[in-house]
Amino acid sequence: MFNVTLSPTTAGIAIAITGIIYWLGWCVYCIWFHPLAKYPGPRVAAVSDIWFVWAWTTGKYPSILEEAHKKYGDVVRISPNELSFGTVQAHRDIYSTPSKTKKPFLKCGIFYNNGDVSNIFYELDPAEHARMRKTLAPGFSGVAMKTHEHIIHQYVDMFVRKVGEICATRRGAGVDVVEAVPWLAFDVMGELTFGESFNAVASGQTHFWISILADSAHAAILPSFVRRAPSLILLIPFMLSISSLRNLKKHYSYTLELVRRRLARSDTAERDIFTPVLEQEGGISETQLVSLAQAMVIAGADTVTTAMTTALYFMCVTPGCLEKLEREVRALEYEQLTGVEVLQMRYLDAVIEESMRCFPPIAFGLPRVSPGEFVDGYFVPKGSRLSAPHWVLHHNPQVWDKPYEFRPERWLKQENKNSDQVTFPFSTGPRSCLGIAQANLEMRIALAKLIHTFDIRAARDPGDWIGNAQMNMMWKKAPLMVDFRPRNRDDLDCVKKQ
């Protein structure tokens, strides 16, 4: 029996050679023999998750992915075991309700796992998700919306007065709606979830809970990167600052305070989104409530914030569209702008739909795992990850005529003759957003009342506002200064009396 002792140098060389051989073998397998080898895409994406992580961390993931689809086609391989689909039919196949002949595409555990307790957004098990959804559904029903509408009007009226006051003092400099619109959206969600707002509209200042969301979103995606590429754990200290970790702790602590105050009012509080959750059989833990509250407030407010801000941007840069919207909204008196009336405004609806098409609040694809099914005619092997990114779908020139042009008219019945012209800002199927009705109601009431009360214009050139935005789970938008000038004194006085 031989006793061979290798020197540290020799051992190091042997390990390096073994690693290189393994890596070359992996590359050969991924490029020529992997089940997804036939699908085109960036060569580096075929052998490593580095391309995906790089594309995401640039903040330009939606546009990078769009360029990849332009180059490679409707199906693009974006990592060794993941595909991106750029067609409407693919979205329907992946996200729609499963049937006896169609297996469900389950949520991807690599992405939907932020290290927190499970909630309706991160739950992977369809049966448990369905139970959670059934529990929450009464808080978002038509009856609930009618019950909550007065809260939306209360904060919208307050918001209209506040932006009018700010613009009056700034003498044409306007207000940054990227900062201001979240005051409204988060105050409404705070009231409907916790029974108290963040007091952002009244104070005209962004509450710290709102201001540190960017850190929260950035931190939420990092565990997913590490699961994709474990070696990235060495870079986490450089990707996440000490201040962001402190902010995350503050964010959790404040949410815990809100939840505890809401629990203390359980017997006296007006029915809200949390009521059916607290009434469920078996109860729910405090930790689960905090996780659910954070997710619900962010999801409920961020979509509204992005859609409303985008609509205001396009109203400022397309005066012809603004004039049409003014004529529709101002045909009624301010006090007539109820939920029933605004939901019947066809051009207002078209403006919001087109805004969400041009700048979708959720621009990336929601990752799913294939059960071994066909997607738009392509067979995707079982266990492969896949998604259909909204940004790519909403700018597909095969579906949309002049996809980068803001044209609300494309949503009016006489012009929208293409059945493929559809957007998915709230996703679809069993995992679609529960708060669609609430978001639609809030956006339409707020925009209608702003348009009715003010003549709006850009206080300064916004430049390529959409092109300058960066996505990191949530959109990080450049400032958008808008001047809200009362049409006349009586209009603003009318709001103050509401």
The pLDDT, as a whole number, for residue 284 is: 80
List the one residue out of 238, 229, 293, 302 whose CA is nearest residue 53.
Answer: 229
Q: Measure the CA–CA gap between 492 and 486, rounded to whole angstroms.
A: 6
Same-domain status, 381 and 270: no
Please state, in angstroms and as integers, the Cα–Cα distance from residue 153 to each residue in 269, 377, 448, following that order.
19, 47, 11
What's the count of helices (H) and strands (E) in the chain, helices before strands?
21, 12
Q: β-strands 82-85, 385-387: how paired?
A: parallel
Q: Measure the CA–CA gap between 301 and 194, rounded to whole angstroms.
A: 14
Q: What's the CATH number where 190 sits?
A: 1.10.630.10
Amino acid at 194: F
Same-domain status, 380 and 430: no
With H, G, I as helix, E, B as strand and everything else as coil, classify residue 13: helix
Both tokens of residue 218?
Answer: 């950035």
Q: Is residue 203 part of a domain?
A: yes
Cβ–Cβ under 8 Å, residues 388 and 85: yes
Last residue of a domain, one of 385, 418, 451: 418
E strands, 96-140, in order? 106-107
Residue 231: is it exposed, middle or buried by C-beta count within 10 angstroms (0-12/13-18/19+)? Answer: exposed
Residue 269: is it exposed, middle or buried by C-beta count within 10 angstroms (0-12/13-18/19+)? Answer: middle
DSSP state of 226: H
The pLDDT, as a whole number, for residue 430 is: 86
Same-domain status, 249 and 194: yes
Last residue of a domain, one of 418, 441, 457: 418
Last residue of a domain, one of 418, 442, 457: 418
Q: Is residue 254 part of a domain?
A: yes
E strands, 415-469, in order? 454-458
Q: β-strands 82-85, 378-380: how paired?
A: unpaired
Amino acid at 304: V
Same-domain status, 246 and 382: no
Q: Is residue 355 part of a domain?
A: yes
Q: Measure the CA–CA gap between 108 and 94, rounded to whole angstroms.
A: 12
Same-domain status, 253 and 312: yes
Same-domain status, 412 and 495: no
Same-domain status, 328 and 381: no
Same-domain status, 205 and 141: yes
Amino acid at 74: D
Give the residues across from 424 on adjacent strands. none
Q: Measure the CA–CA gap between 494 and 161, rounded to whole angstroms.
A: 10
Cβ–Cβ under 8 Å, residues 365 and 66: no
Same-domain status, 277 and 305: yes
Same-domain status, 389 and 339: no
Q: Measure the CA–CA gap between 496 and 90, rounded to whole angstroms.
A: 49
Total of domains in the chain? 2
Both tokens of residue 357?
Answer: 């098409």
Q: Is residue 115 part of a domain?
A: no
pTM of the model: 0.91
Q: What angle do CA 239, 241, 247 make, to 5 degrees?
A: 125
Q: Measure the CA–CA gap between 261 and 113, rounded to whole angstroms.
A: 28
Same-domain status, 295 and 407: no
Same-domain status, 136 and 237: yes
Give the residues across from 333 on adjacent strands. none
Q: Is residue 201 part of a domain?
A: yes
Q: What is the pLDDT along the chain (498 residues), one digit of tens a residue?
A: 556 566 777 767 777 787 788 778 888 888 999 999 999 999 999 999 989 989 998 889 999 999 999 999 999 999 999 999 999 999 999 999 888 888 899 999 888 876 667 788 888 888 888 888 888 888 888 888 888 899 999 999 999 999 999 999 998 899 999 999 999 999 999 998 888 899 999 999 998 888 877 666 666 677 777 788 777 776 666 666 666 667 777 888 888 898 898 888 776 667 778 888 888 766 788 888 888 888 888 888 889 999 999 999 999 999 999 999 999 999 999 999 999 999 999 999 999 999 999 999 999 999 999 999 999 999 999 999 999 999 999 999 998 999 999 999 999 976 665 656 788 888 888 888 888 889 999 999 999 999 999 999 999 999 999 999 998 888 999 999 999 999 976 655 656 555
**Range of 48's domain?**
24-95+363-418
- Give the strand order in the sheet containing 454-458: 175-176, 481-486, 454-458
Helix (H) or strand (E) holding 126: helix 126-136
The pLDDT, as a whole number, for residue 293 is: 85
Residue burial 103-125, b: 16+ Cβ < 10 Å; e: rest: ebbbbbebbbbbebebbbbbbee
